[in-house]
Amino acid sequence: MLRNGLEPWHLLIVAIVILVVFGSKRLPDAARGLGKSMRILKSEAQAMKEDGAAQRAATPAEDATAPAAESHSAP
């Protein structure tokens, strides 16, 4: 069905449908709201990434060779 993926005329049809559904007056407001949401999402993702890096740096690395427990064998 979509062997060639989206071609330019597919995008043109989608743009026309969006224009008809939302109307030319509400479209700038919708785009503005979408842009604001994307900025918030990017900033939150960046904050989560920085928090994760800070946690990894603050947590001391555990020794791979932990001291073995003493074992006593009965005679």
Evaluate whether 49 touches 57 at the Cβ level (below 8 Å): no
Q: Please tell me what DSSP assigns to residue 31.
A: H
C-alpha span between 51 and 41 (Å, rounded): 15
- Better pLDDT: 30 or 6: 30
Q: Is the pLDDT of residue 63 over 60?
A: no
Q: List for the chain the helix, strand, coil content (%; round to 5).
A: 70, 0, 30
C-alpha span between 43 and 16 (Å, rounded): 32
pLDDT tens-digit map of 28-59: 898 899 999 999 999 999 999 998 888 888 77
Other beta carbons within 10 Å of 27:
13
